[in-house]
Amino acid sequence: MTEQELISSLQEKSQTAFKTLVELYQDKVYNTCLSLLQNPEEAEEIAQDVFIEVYKSIDSFRGDAKLSTWLYRVATTKSLERIRKLKAKKRFAFLKSIGGSKDEDEIQPATFVHPGIQLEQKEHAQALFSAINLLPDNQRAAFTLVKVEGLSYQEVGEVLEMSLSSIESLMFRARKNLQKLLENYYEKNLKA
């Protein structure tokens, strides 16, 4: 089945086409969400939301980009929305704790290590993912899509709906910020 046939079948609300879409893209969508959210449960939930959103809004797909690009865009957007909600919830929990109220649902920072990382590299990977987590959302998304998901700058530009020069600029700033964030970690570990 060609991509256009798949899109046409999805627009006709074919269950078989939807199943095919999920089979073809579930790993890519989940890995994108996982790389951005750094939480397997959150990533799984958002990945499901991505496919539901795609199924509901396939009629609005104009075909300006590849289907995979659109899926990356939806996955990235939904992941960044979740990150913003979680940050807001953390700030609210912090303010409540200052006021003396203790929230049972307070979010604790996770120690995330991507499942594809070798055992001997987990400590370094944890430091890297913690640093990535501190990047501004647009740098975090661009860096993750390029370095973790392996998309080209052009593809990332299509996903984030930005120009190639904007992606290059985001990547430059992300690298500089990561370099600053990781400087102390590596100095400490080289002395040990």
pLDDT tens digits, the chain, 192 residues: what are they?
A: 899 999 999 999 999 999 999 999 999 999 999 989 989 999 999 999 999 999 999 998 887 889 999 999 999 999 999 988 877 766 555 545 554 444 444 333 445 555 555 545 666 667 778 888 889 999 999 999 998 888 999 999 999 999 999 999 999 999 999 999 888 777 766 665
User: 130 with 192, same domain?
Assistant: yes
Rounded to whole angstroms, the Cα distance separating 86 from 165 reads 30
User: 59 with 8, same domain?
Assistant: yes
The CA-atom distances, in angstroms, between 72 and each of 31, 54, 150 are 10, 11, 12
* Per-residue tokens: 155: 């593809």
pTM: predicted TM-score of the whole model, two decimal places: 0.71
User: 101 with 9, same domain?
Assistant: yes
Rounded to whole angstroms, the Cα distance separating 59 from 8 reads 9
Domain end marker among 59, 80, 109: 109
